[in-house]
Amino acid sequence: MARRKKVYEGKAKILYEGPEPGTLVQYFKDDATAFNAEKRATVEGKGVLNNRLSEFFMTGLNSVGVPTHFIRRLNMREQLIRAVEIIPLEVVVRNVAAGSISKRLGIDEGTPLPRPIVEFYFKNDELGDPMVSEEHIIAFGWASQQDMDDMISLALRVNDFLSGLMLGVGIKLVDFKIEIGRVWDNDYMRLIIADEISPDSCRLWDIETGQKLDKDVFRRDLGNLADAYTEVARRLGVMPQREPPVTKPTLIN
């Protein structure tokens, strides 16, 4: 049997050529990396969890009219997606101060922000994904003014959707990162959500206890990462509990 063609391999995922033109197969690995891949580990089950969670979030977004690349899940670790031209930016939305904004601006982690803040980082591992402004993005031609407006609107819609979903299961959506890609339908170009949405790219805190249920568990050595992701999946009802074994009723005479 011919081996399928690998199109791209990243830190946590592999992309293969899809069955039809304009499609790709996205494979979720168990590899965890942090600090620009300086810290690495294999976390058994992470790929399976992120495949399911990303499916859940992307399907939900599609159903409320936020376009994403997700077509359907193929198996435990793979999903069929639309091929897009990735805009070389990481789009971060923050509701509560944590991570780099706390360090950069000296705001205590956990401080609620006055409104959701959208930030852009240039996707470049060698440079450590530096933060960039709208001025840079437009001057260097990474995106147009119209794209910027569309990206901000998409990012805020994703924030509203995910925040509500998480609140419903007792989780605070502190911040998250998305990637956005271009697709062409005939001559018409539009932007859609690409990559993945999972606890690898979000900060999720338990509302009651403040417990971290995201990749900070790995970054900061706070416990078992797969347990944290399993808890998120369990609360969202994403990984259905196994059905109890069927036992035959015993007839009592």
- The answer for residues whose C-beta is within 8 angstroms of residue 240's C-beta and 6 or more apart is none
Query: Which of positions 108-167 make contact with ligand UDP (CB under 6 A)?
Result: 129
Nearer to ligand UDP, 62 or 100 (CB): 100
Least gap, CB of 12 to ligand UDP (angstroms): 10
Options 213, 215, 229, 236; binder of ligand UDP; rule CB under 6 A: 215
CA distances from 213 to 26, 133, 182, 183, 225 (A): 24, 30, 31, 33, 8
Nearer to ligand UDP, 95 or 230 (CB): 95
Least gap, CB of 177 to ligand UDP (angstroms): 3
Examine residue 217 and tell whether it contacts ligand UDP (CB under 6 A): no
Nearer to ligand UDP, 17 or 129 (CB): 129
Examine residue 176 and tell whether it contacts ligand UDP (CB under 6 A): yes
Least gap, CB of 202 to ligand UDP (angstroms): 5
Report yes or no: 79 and 52 within 8 Å, Cβ to Cβ. no
Examine residue 45 and tell whether it contacts ligand UDP (CB under 6 A): no
Examine residue 46 and tell whether it contacts ligand UDP (CB under 6 A): no
Options 89, 201, 218, 226; binder of ligand UDP; rule CB under 6 A: 201
Report yes or no: 212 and 204 within 8 Å, Cβ to Cβ. yes
E strands within the chain?
A: 6-9, 13-17, 23-28, 31-34, 39-42, 70-73, 78-82, 85-86, 89-96, 112-122, 131-132, 171-185, 188-194, 202-206
Site for ligand UDP (CB under 6 A): how many residues?
13
Options 203, 205, 217, 232; binder of ligand UDP; rule CB under 6 A: 203
E strands within 54-170?
A: 70-73, 78-82, 85-86, 89-96, 112-122, 131-132
Examine residue 177 and tell whether it contacts ligand UDP (CB under 6 A): yes
Binding site for ligand UDP (CB under 6 A): 90, 92, 98-100, 129, 175-177, 201-203, 215
